[in-house]
A and B are shown apart, each in its own frame.
Chain A
Amino acid sequence: MDRAPPRVAGVGLTHFGVHPERTGRDLFAEAAATAFEDAGVPRADVDGVYYGNFMGELTEHQGHQAPLMAEAAGLTCPATRYENACASSGVAVREAVRTVRNGEADVLLVGGAERMNNVGTAGSTEGLAVAADDLFEVRAGVTFPGAYALMARAYFDEFGGSREALAHIAVKNHDNALDNEFAQFRQAIDVETAVEAPPIAEPLHLYDSCPITDGASAFLLVSEAYAAEHDLDAAVSVTGTGQGGDHLALQDRADLAFTPATEAAAGEAFADAGIERDAVAFAEVHDCFTIAEVLALEGLGFYDRGAAIDAARAGETTRDGDLPVNLSGGLKAKGHPVGATGAAQVVEATRLLRGDHPNSDAVDGDVGVTHNAGGTVASAVVHVLEVDA
C-alpha cells in the first residue's frame, strides 16, 4: 500500500466577501478552475470530488450539492458532500487525504463553498444557529456568537482575561489580511476601536466576530506516485491528519472553557505526521470569534490552559512572533464562508509554505498546521502540512 503523504498539486480561492448575486456553483467553479490551472493536472485524471458545504438547503434551497459542484468544475466523476457545520470542508480534506494515502485514488478535487449574504444577517444568523442543539440550545435563544460568548465568559471566570486581550487578536488578524487579495477585510483596526464596538453577544462585540462571507476554496490532492510520474511541481505534502469529537450541546461538555475535540484531533495529527509541536512554524486556526483562537491554541497544545489569552498582546502569535497564527487574516479578517473554510486553510498554508503568499516571509520553517472546528467545537479537524526542504 502506498502510505506516502499525498501532495497538494494546485490551489484556488475566490475572493472571500460579499457576493450575494453569485451562486454557490459559480463560486466553486472559479476556485476549481484556479486550482486546475495552478496544478497543471488534466480534468480527465480526477478520481473524485470531496466537497464541504453547511447551509446550502437554507440559503440556496439546494441539497445534493456534490455532483452539482463537480459539474461546475467540469467533472462527472463520483462526488460527495461533507457536512460538519464550520468543519465541513476540513472533514472533506481529511477523507481525501486518507483515500489517497490508502491508494484508493491518485487525484482528488477537494474544496468547499458557502453562500450566506443573499439571506441577510437574520437569515445567516438563523442558518448558523442550526449548528447548535435544536432542542436544548437553539430554542433557548443560542446564536452562534452567543455560544462562543458563553465559552468566553466561562474562560474569563476560570482563568481571567479581558476584552482588551481579545481585541489584540482581532487587531493581529486584521493586520495579517492587509496584503491578502482574497480577504474580506483589508483594513487595519486598533484595540480601542475593537473594544468600543457594539455588543453582539456579551462579552463578544462586533470585532470579536468573523463576518458573513460568500466564497469557495479548492485544491487538487495527488498521490506521491502521480506527482512523480507527471513531474508535478507539488512541494507541499499533507503529512498528518486528525479528527476529534465532543457532545454537540455546550451544556453536556465536561468543561466550558476547553475544547477536547481539538486536543484529540491535534494529538492524532501530530503523531500521524511524526512531528513535535516545536517544529511548527505557523498555524491557521479556527478563529470564528477571537475567543475561538485562544481555545484553539490551548487545545492544539501550543499553550497551557489559561495561557493563550495574552499570546497576541505579547506578540507571540503576531507575524514576527515565535508562532505566527492566522497569517491569512484568519476567519476573523479573511472571512468565513462556512463550508469553504477548512479547505481554504489548507490552500493558505500551502501558499505560505510554497513561498507565494504575501505573508510567506513571516514563515521560518517547513511545517504548518491547520485547525478547523465545527459549531462550538463538537467537531475538530487538524492537518499538518510540510514543504520539501
Chain B
Amino acid sequence: MSDEYTPENPAPDGEYDAWLDAVAADEGYYLACDEGHGWLPPRRVCPRCGGDLHEESLPETGEVATFTVVHVPTPSFAAEAPYATVVAEFGAVRLTGVARTFEGLAVGDTVAPAVGEREEGDRLLLLEPV
C-alpha cells in the first residue's frame, strides 16, 4: 500500500485494522471493563462507567438482534446490493456487519463473523448465517 492518501487509498485506522486482522484470523476480541460492559476498539475507557478496559475473546457465534435488507446503498456498496446489514449480539458486545446470504434470515438466527473483501478494495465485516 502506498502511503499517499487518496479516497481509494485512505489512511490506515490503527486499532480498527488490527481488530479486523484478528477477526480474519479467528482471534476476534472485544474490550471489557470490570463491570462487564463490552466495547470495540479503539477505546481507552468504558463509556458507561469510566473503568479501564482489557481484551476478552469474542464468542465464535452471535445471535441476530436486528437486520435490514438494503436496496439503495451508498456508492461504495453499489456492487454489494442487495445485502443485509446485521446487528448481532456476541455476549457483552454487539457487532454490525454484512450478510451476503440473507434469504429467510430472522431475528434470533446464529451468525459467525468473518472478514470479506469488497470489489472496491476495502475489507468489510461479514456476519453470515451458520
Measured in the bound complex, the distance between the Cα atoms of B74 and A327 in whole Å is 32
- A200 engages B87 (CB within 8 Å): no
- A141 engages B107 (CB within 8 Å): no
- A122 engages B122 (CB within 8 Å): no
- A143 engages B73 (CB within 8 Å): yes
Measured in the bound complex, the distance between the Cα atoms of B73 and A139 in whole Å is 12
Interface residues of B in 37-69 (CB under 8 A from A): 39-40, 47, 65-69
Residue of B nearest to A145 (CB): B72
- A247 engages B47 (CB within 8 Å): yes
Cβ of A344 < 8 Å from any Cβ of B?
no
Closest beta carbon of chain B to A137's beta carbon, Å: 6
Q: Most B CB atoms within 10 A — which of A122, A129, A149, A251?
A: A251
> A151: which B residues are within 8 A, CB to CB?
66
Residue of A nearest to B76 (CB): A126
Cβ of B96 < 8 Å from any Cβ of A?
yes
> A129: which B residues are within 8 A, CB to CB?
74
Closest beta carbon of chain B to A54's beta carbon, Å: 16
Closest beta carbon of chain B to A202's beta carbon, Å: 4
- A141 engages B77 (CB within 8 Å): yes
Closest beta carbon of chain B to A203's beta carbon, Å: 8
- A143 engages B72 (CB within 8 Å): yes
Prevailing SS type, chain A contact patch: helix
> B85: which A residues are within 8 A, CB to CB?
140-142, 146, 150, 201
Cβ of B75 < 8 Å from any Cβ of A?
yes
> A143: which B residues are within 8 A, CB to CB?
70, 72-74
The number of residues on chain B lying at the interface, defined by a beta carbon within 8 Å of a beta carbon of chain A, is: 33
- B87 engages A256 (CB within 8 Å): yes
- B96 engages A249 (CB within 8 Å): yes
Measured in the bound complex, the distance between the Cα atoms of B95 and A341 in whole Å is 31
> B78: which A residues are within 8 A, CB to CB?
122
A122-B75, A139-B122, A250-B96 as given contacts; A202 in contact with B87, CB under 8 Å: no
> B73: which A residues are within 8 A, CB to CB?
125, 141, 143
- Give the bracket for the number of chain A residues in contact with chain B: 35 or more
Closest beta carbon of chain A to B82's beta carbon, Å: 9
User: A242-264 toward B: CB 8 Å interface, digit per residue (1/0)?
Assistant: 00000101111000100000000
Closest beta carbon of chain A to B71's beta carbon, Å: 5
Interface residues of B in 74-116 (CB under 8 A from A): 74-78, 80, 83, 85, 87, 93-98, 107
- B68 engages A153 (CB within 8 Å): yes
Closest beta carbon of chain A to B44's beta carbon, Å: 15
Cβ of A136 < 8 Å from any Cβ of B?
yes
Measured in the bound complex, the distance between the Cα atoms of B7 and A126 in whole Å is 13
> A126: which B residues are within 8 A, CB to CB?
74-76
> B8: which A residues are within 8 A, CB to CB?
none
Closest beta carbon of chain B to A110's beta carbon, Å: 31
Cβ of B24 < 8 Å from any Cβ of A?
no
Cβ of A154 < 8 Å from any Cβ of B?
yes
Please name 10 further chain A to chain B contacts, defined as beta carbons within 8 Å, in addition to the given A153-B107, A201-B70, A252-B39, sorted by A numbering: A125-B73, A140-B124, A141-B85, A143-B70, A157-B66, A157-B107, A200-B71, A203-B68, A247-B47, A256-B66
- Using CB atoms and an 8 Å cutoff, list the residues of chain A in contact with chain B: 121-123, 125-126, 129, 135-143, 145-146, 149-154, 157, 198-204, 247, 249-252, 256
- Using CB atoms and an 8 Å cutoff, list the residues of chain B in contact with chain A: 13, 16, 39-40, 47, 65-78, 80, 83, 85, 87, 93-98, 107, 122, 124-125
Shortest Cβ-Cβ A-B pairs, 7 listed: A149-B68, A251-B94, A154-B66, A202-B69, A140-B96, A153-B66, A201-B68
